[in-house]
Structure 1
Amino acid sequence: MTTSAELFERASRHIPGGVNSPVRAFKGMHRPPVFMERAQGAYLFDVEGNRYVDYIGSWGPMITGHADPDVLAAVRSRLDSGLSFGTPTEAETTMADLICEIIPSMEMVRMTSSGTEATMSAIRLARGYTGRDKIVKFEGNYHGHSDSLLVKAGSGALTHGEPSSPGVPAALAEHTVTLSYNDPDGVEACFEEIGDRIACIIVEPVSGNMNCIPPQPGFLETLRRVCNEHGSVLIFDEVMTGFRIALGGAQARYGVTPDLTCLGKIVGGGMPVGAFGGKREIMENISPLGPIYHAGTLSGNPLAMAAGVTLLNKLQVPGFHDALTQRVDTLCHGLKERADAAGVPMITQSSGGMFGIFFTSQSRVDNFAQATACNPEAFRSFFTAMLDHGVYLAPSAYEASFMSSAHTAEDIQLTLDAAEKAFATM
């Protein structure tokens, strides 16, 4: 039998770090990653035959479980017609109609091949539409790996941003202002000083890349107001939250309407896909209607559209998201009870189908500074013990976890039993 350790050693010969996306490397866990063979429902199965209750769900899109038979059937029905045409297809229009129906703020939508491409294109559109260069993002929010977004804060809130990765030009980073998430006063101060130069704000309305951090009351509302006052574009990065925390995403759950929205692989049923869209008056500036360029041979890929349309239709069953939220609440409440009983400082936070586990004595975590102040050693110990007991969590203390409709009461109980054993060793 081939082991994960052997596969990782082999992969490391020709793949940097042995993985094609850094979080898969288990670097912070001080162990080789687990190589998966297949997935079904709420479970992952590794190459050694072990089964895990999965709370990653391919980082969000597997909201009805892995290998959903309806989604797979939709892909199979298209497969014999070809993989990609590079031409328009009816499936793209069906998808666009469906997205715009579910998310009313998206009056027009353009498909992409990834969430990174969606956010990159939305920012270019906002800059072209406003004629401004500066953008505002928030510390701990991740919007893909395009140059404008791999920028960390300077020494003060309004100083020039600094590249957070080699290869990002300092001159480009100067156009990115990084503020603290959930700090409306900081946003107000920024716009008072340079609001007339800011093209857009881009934000995860629920942050899922410093674990799960929902917006504090008034934060998203402040973003909407300052953008209105200064003629800036408000972009919600709903790559994680879209269709997950509510059918209409975070904007439906929290009642704040952005100008542009970015979506990710959930609109492709888990296949490589993304989308961005919003107000018609802004979207009509995209080529070929307008001068702002965006293109992609695989944008609107017919297989991805077939999978996505099927999945999004399934999510419209009344009560689907309420049931998903209830599963998350049951799990989080049970985890907190068991941590308290074991004397382990830990809290959970959630929004709809997303949740996060923080090893901290703080009563809540609202921003990047608080998230990074949590105990990474405690998380590492917990993660390893949970993995050993058949529960697969995100291999990072700074990634959100996801529930699916395939998770049963028995799966949640198995998870809580594993957590009780894990806490007992900490």
Structure 2
Amino acid sequence: MIHTNSEHLYYKAQKLIPGGVNSPVRAFKSVGTSPVFAAKAYGSVIEDVDGNKYIDYICSWGPLILGHSHPLLLDSITNAAKLGSSFGIPTAAEVEMAELIVSAYSSSVDEVRMVNSGTEATMSALRVARGYTGRNKILKFEGCYHGHNDSLLVKSGSGTITYGVPTSLGITAAVAHDTIVAPYNDIEAVTAIFEAHSHEIAAVIVEPVSGNMGVVSATIEFLQALRDLTATHGAVLIFDEVITGFRLAYGGASEYFGIAPDMICFGKIIGGGLPVGAYAGKRAIMDVVSPVGGVYQAGTLSGNPLAMAAGITQLKYLRDTATIYADLDAKAAYLESGINTILRELNLNFTVNRVGSLLCLFFTSHKVTNYDEALTCDTQKFNIYFQSLLDQGILIGPSQFEAMFISAAHTYAQLDTTLAAIRVALNQFK
């Protein structure tokens, strides 16, 4: 493929934008190449500025569950824009969106506050949890990504029970000190942390299915332990469903695993892919939020009409289309089975993880259930694999530690084309 126009744009962008991109993963730096620049997209296909076409498994990092440029969403956005793009006062659409979310997650939430991104949702939820409990410390897990707010950009130090160590410049040691980091899926570690810090922990935040160390699912036993420990010790359990919300099921991971947290964070999927987020929770918790309570959080564009219109249309479609989740699961299972068949035929001992319509091929022979196991992957092999797929017109996340997202727009013919390309890419390692 020729990438002349993309290369020119990237050269120009590097003089104007830090690293030439507005989000680090877009730089394709981890796979050792320069990015392709999108021009347009439709269904499950992205076309770049050089006219190259790719079957897309990024799907804007998950929210495009119906595919690109879905006609219903385009109509809803156009109609909303004709009425006004932003008002700074409430709209009926915000109320309707809240009704949809509360209805879908009725076992977990009573009230919803709209924000503008998943990062803003998790940041706000933690502030609310601290305000509600009167405590300061947060427990998070290695390999779970909750956006770029200060208290969550931390990693663990030495040992199983540890305070966080900043992973970015600009984060103070004092902020990181209030974050405790534990291994994912490790019930014993979490139990020990609560024994040591019972009256200090305001909240536990977790991705029920992590999408940023590849696809790694929490076990039901682990999630139930978190539910029991937080209830016993008076901490708030927060599910970060920016990736899993309305994707694993209409009721998200809460429905999928049958476990109800105290708060849930949502991202772009509730806006049909437009910039949006939300945090939701039980009434007693949410009533500490201003203007009812003393926890301040605000945003001029929160609940903006365009995102609400697209999101309402998408959520209603997901709610009313009886077979959509079964169809998504079947397509992802078809891709998973095809990859495993190729691995067996080529005698390659790599690992495939799948949860619903989320999928990841790990370049390791280890079972991957936590961050340390994910780090056993051979990222150099992944980089070669990624480039081969890109050259064949298949676009996946430019990192070993990202998910493949299946959309309703993907066809079985496209899945077969993808499997043929995967066979070519993996044949290099037999």
Same fold per TM (> 0.5)?
yes
1:268 corresponds in structure 2 to 271
Deviates further, 338-347 or 199-208: 338-347
Point out where structure 1 has 5 or more consecutive residues left out of the alignment. none
Is 1:333 matched with 2:334?
no
Deviation, structure 1 residue 159: 2.9
Q: 1:109-165: CA deviations, max 9, x gaps?
A: 000000000000000000000000000000010000010001111222333221111
Deviation, structure 1 residue 341: 1.2
2:24 corresponds in structure 1 to 22
Q: 1:156-215: CA deviations, max 9, x gaps?
A: 233322111110000111000000001111111111111211000000000001010011
Flag as ranges the 4+ runs of structure 1 deviating above 6 A.
Answer: none
Q: Which structure 2 residues correspond to residues 160-309 of structure 1 after superposition, within 5 A?
A: 160-309=163-312
2:105 corresponds in structure 1 to 103
Is 1:11 matched with 2:20?
no
Does the CA contact (< 8 Å) of 2:137 and 2:200 recur in 1? yes
Deviation, structure 1 residue 343: 2.3
Residue aligned with 1:168, SS: coil
Is 1:357 matched with 2:361?
yes
1:53 corresponds in structure 2 to 55
Q: 1:94-122: CA deviations, max 9, x gaps?
A: 10001111111121000000000000000
Give me the whole-angstrom Cα distance separating, in 2, the residues matched to 1:160 and 1:90.
44
Cα RMSD (Å) of the superposition?
0.9
Give me the whole-angstrom Cα distance separating, in 2, the residues matched to 1:402 and 1:120.
25
Q: 1:301-346: CA deviations, max 9, x gaps?
A: 0010000000001111112101101100000110111122122222
Structure 1: which amino acid aligns with 2:325?
H
Give me the whole-angstrom Cα distance separating, in 2, the residues matched to 1:79 and 1:264.
21
TM-score norm. by structure 1 comes to: 0.98
Is 1:342 matched with 2:350?
no
Report the number of matched residues. 425
Deviation, structure 1 residue 2: 5.3
Give me the whole-angstrom Cα distance separating, in 2, the residues matched to 1:26 and 1:387.
12
Give me the whole-angstrom Cα distance separating, in 1, the residues matched to 2:283 and 2:15.
48
Q: 1:386-425: CA deviations, max 9, x gaps?
A: 1111110000001111000000010100000101111112
Give me the whole-angstrom Cα distance separating, in 1, the residues matched to 2:215 and 2:8.
33
Structure 2: which amino acid aligns with 1:302?
P
Residue aligned with 1:299, SS: coil
Q: 1:357-378: CA deviations, max 9, x gaps?
A: 101112x200000001111011
Structure 1: which amino acid aligns with 2:251?
G
Q: Which structure 2 residues correspond to residues 81-92 of structure 1 after superposition, within 5 A?
A: 81-92=83-94
Structure 2: which amino acid aligns with 1:85?
F
Out of 15, 36, 43, the residue aligned to residue 34 of structure 1 is 36
Give me the whole-angstrom Cα distance separating, in 2, the residues matched to 1:188 and 1:284.
29
Deviation, structure 1 residue 80: 1.4
Q: Which structure 2 residues correspond to residues 359-378 of structure 1 after superposition, within 5 A?
A: 359-362=363-366, 364-378=367-381
Deviation, structure 1 residue 217: 3.4
1:408 corresponds in structure 2 to 411
Deviation, structure 1 residue 351: 1.1
Does the CA contact (< 8 Å) of 2:150 and 2:175 recur in 1? yes
TM-score norm. by structure 2 comes to: 0.98
Residue aligned with 1:404, SS: coil
Q: Percent identity?
A: 49
